[in-house]
């Protein structure tokens, strides 16, 4: 049974030009309708899957853009179903300008244990280019407030921009004592304002920033445990590891994705529709996942992690021995020192990490 849940809150104070997530500006009538439908969806989903939750993740959008009253209403829907908060980790994504010291205390009292802060940079020129509302000083002040409030805190950083001093950003975040930093190369997604403006990145700068993030953050005790995620030991995101290792998770809200058990199959991937159809009660996309699909999904996400793919666990769940199915490909990757095999664990080498997408494509094309 799924023991993790992702809740999507689509409302943002500003629409960033690089973002392709399901999001929109808020208005009171729309938020009210959203919460009402969310309560209805939670009750129905709970009737299907009622196991206690280990992790709950509020993503977006900007969940902290909701008012305290609205957040409390949503929490009440959890309290009436799975319970609140989650047993291990309850995360709220937050924008630096949506809270102060007093509101952070309110978040703590509400039951949130972890904050994921969308800082993106500490440099004003970079933040302006990215369309962010806050400046570098406000980013670091928000981070310090969150740490002082006693939260488990993760901060997001975007890299790869030509005007960016990436080392300065990394030092600025790590020097706060932060225990988790997510570093993402800016991706130009189709149909976003950046794509329409034909914004392009320097591939050499992207690679250099990727390598720099690992070496520099390691000096602060933050190890890369997933392609984009760096943490001190014991501070890794519990919720995100559910995705990476192929475990089940529930989804609530417009545009939210989930992976749940399905009779006759290894699971069913569910993706809720955009908010208009979601408010009308439409179910969205349902895709049955067979054993071969599941193996490819786990390879795609598990190879992103330092832990790699547990091939025995994968075989027990899928019935597929990947060393047999992909013998020729794995032999070739080993020959070129792109992967490592230790006991039953398959993972990328440091060289292979730089070619992650290409290696994953090889498995899909095999």
Q: Are strands 265-271 and 257-262 parallel, antiparallel or unpaired?
A: antiparallel
Burial level of 365, CB count in 10 A (0-12/13-18/19+)?
Answer: exposed
- Mean pLDDT of the region 37-55: 98
The model's confidence at residue 366, banded by pLDDT at 50, 70 and 90, is confident
**Rounded Cα distance, 110 and 272, in Å:** 27
Q: In Å, what is the CA distance from 255 to each residue of 79, 146, 183, 272?
A: 23, 28, 24, 5
Beta-bridge partners for 120:
157
- Whether the per-residue pLDDT at 126 is higher than 90: the answer is yes
Reduce the DSSP state of residue 51 to 3 states and report it. Answer: coil
Question: Could you tell me how far CA 216 lies from the centroid of its own chain?
Answer: 22
Beta-bridge partners for 270:
258, 286
pLDDT 10s digits, 59-106: 999 999 999 999 999 999 999 999 999 999 999 999 999 999 999 999
- Mean pLDDT of the region 188-193: 91
Collect all residues with Cβ–Cβ distance below 8 Å to 188 and sequence separation of at least 6. Answer: 18, 194, 195, 199, 200, 201
Contact present, 220 and 233 (Cβ < 8 Å):
no
pTM for this model (two decimals): 0.95
Q: What is the pLDDT of residue 20?
A: 87
- Whether the per-residue pLDDT at 264 is higher than 90: the answer is no
Q: What is the pLDDT of residue 216?
A: 98
**Rounded Cα distance, 359 and 355, in Å:** 6
Q: What backbone torsions phi and psi does residue 230 show, to the nearest 5 degrees?
A: -125, 135
* Percentage of residues of the chain with pLDDT beyond 90: 93
Enter the tokens of residue 52. Answer: 């206690």
Q: What is the mean pLDDT of the chain?
A: 96
Total residues belonging to the chain: 366
- Mean pLDDT of the region 26-40: 96
**Rounded Cα distance, 240 and 89, in Å:** 11
Reduce the DSSP state of residue 89 to 3 states and report it. Answer: strand
């Amino acid at each position: 049974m799924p023991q993790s849940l992702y809740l999507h809150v689509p409302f943002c104070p500003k629409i960033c030009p690089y973002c392709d997530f399901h999001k929109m500006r808020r208005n009171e009538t729309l938020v009210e309708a959203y919460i009402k439908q969310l309560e209805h969806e939670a009750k129905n989903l709970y009737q299907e899957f009622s196991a206690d939750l280990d992790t709950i993740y509020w993503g977006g959008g900007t969940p902290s853009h909701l008012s305290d009253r609205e957040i409390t209403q949503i929490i009440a829907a959890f309290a009436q179903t799975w319970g609140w908060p989650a047993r291990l980790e309850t995360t709220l994504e937050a924008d630096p300008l949506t809270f102060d010291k007093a509101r952070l205390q309110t978040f703590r009292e509400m039951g949130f244990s972890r904050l994921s802060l969308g800082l993106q940079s500490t440099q004003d020129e970079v933040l302006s280019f990215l369309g962010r509302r806050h400046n570098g000083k406000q980013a670091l002040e928000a981070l310090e407030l969150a740490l002082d409030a006693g939260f488990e805190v993760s901060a997001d950083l975007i890299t790869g921009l030509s005007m960016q001093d990436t080392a300065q950003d990394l030092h600025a975040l790590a020097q706060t004592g932060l225990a988790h930093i997510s570093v993402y190369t800016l991706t130009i997604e189709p149909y976003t304002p950046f794509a329409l403006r034909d914004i392009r990145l320097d591939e050499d700068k992207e690679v250099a920033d990727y390598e720099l993030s690992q070496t520099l953050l390691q000096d602060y005790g933050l190890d890369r445990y997933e392609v984009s995620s760096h943490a001190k030991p014991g501070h890794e995101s519990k919720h995100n590891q559910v995705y990476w290792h192929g475990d089940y998770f529930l989804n609530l809200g417009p545009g939210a994705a989930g992976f749940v058990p399905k009779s006759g199959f290894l699971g069913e991937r569910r993706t809720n529709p955009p908010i208009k159809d979601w408010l009308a009660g439409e179910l969205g996309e349902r895709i049955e996942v067979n054993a071969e699909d599941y193996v490819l999904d786990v390879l795609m996400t598990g190879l992103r992690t330092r832990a790699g793919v547990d091939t025995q666990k994968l075989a027990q769940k899928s019935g597929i021995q990947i060393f047999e199915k992909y013998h020729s490909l794995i032999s070739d990757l080993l020959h070129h020192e792109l992967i490592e095999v230790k006991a039953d664990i398959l993972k990328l080498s440091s060289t292979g990490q730089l070619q992650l997408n290409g290696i994953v494509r090889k498995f899909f094309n095999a």
